[in-house]
A and B are shown apart, each in its own frame.
Chain A
Amino acid sequence: MIGGTVTITVRKKLGLGIYHFGFPLWTVWLLLLPLAILTLPLLLLICLVRLIDPCRVISIFWGMLRALKGTEVEVDDRRRLVAIGIH
């Protein structure tokens, strides 16, 4: 499964304000699907020219997408904290 849920938390330090929402990751992939379909012929052409196995390329990128689960990024400064996690 390619990840599961993305959670985004924004917390304002000055004053009150915590915004927390999550959404399933498949919605992101669904939005990116048209772009992927459009770039697929270009990718195949590059693989053909460079003599690279396109199945291997797709397999590696698929592996990277699957491995995203557990990634967390948090940026904390004086005014706010923003945290993004893929669970």
Chain B
Amino acid sequence: MNEHRRQILQMLSQGQITAEEAEKLIVALEKEPESGSTPKVKAKFIRVVVEDGPTKVNVRVPMQLLRAGVKLASLIPPQARIHVDSALREHGMQIDLSQLKPENLEELIDHLNDLTVDVDDKNGKVRVFSE
């Protein structure tokens, strides 16, 4: 039991706060990161491992390269974006490139920190993860 929680329970026992207030404080404490805890480390690389029988391909790509590569999408001229969007829709991807903003892409890349893809079938194995 940490010190903050002990203080809350002490205040509750002394009648300084109600049970509801104590509960709110404890919930707020649980949401905050611990002061001594290590901050979440951002992944720096994406690794793709493909195993197809005896052949194994292992590729590690820096996240910075992904960020820089994603910026390439911003260079597509507007008239070409229409063709790209329709080609993507034909392949089942409902993506509108004109709606993509730099902050959305940054958020997408940040979420790649938790990315793990594991495909295992008779043709081979594919693993994608961040490290």
Contacts and interface: CB of A to CB of B under 8 A. Distances in A.
Interface of A: 50-52, 56-57, 60, 63-64, 66-78
B76 to A, nearest CB: 9
Contact of A52 (B61, B71, B77): B77
Interface in B42-57: 44-45, 54-57
The 8 closest A-B pairs by CB, nearest first: A67-B64, A67-B65, A63-B68, A72-B60, A74-B58, A70-B62, A64-B68, A76-B56
Contacts of B60: 70-73
B79 to A, nearest CB: 9
Q: Please report whether the interface of chain B is mostly helix, strand, loop or mixed according to DSSP.
A: mixed
Given A60-B75, A74-B58, A67 B68 contact: yes
B77 A50 contact: yes
A42 B68 CA distance: 22
Nearest to B56: A76
B59 interface: yes
26 contacts: A51-B77, A52-B77, A56-B75, A60-B68, A60-B75, A64-B69, A67-B62, A67-B68, A68-B65, A70-B45, A70-B60, A70-B62, A71-B62, A72-B59, A73-B57, A73-B58, A73-B60, A74-B58, A74-B59, A75-B55, A75-B58, A76-B55, A76-B57, A76-B58, A77-B55, A77-B56
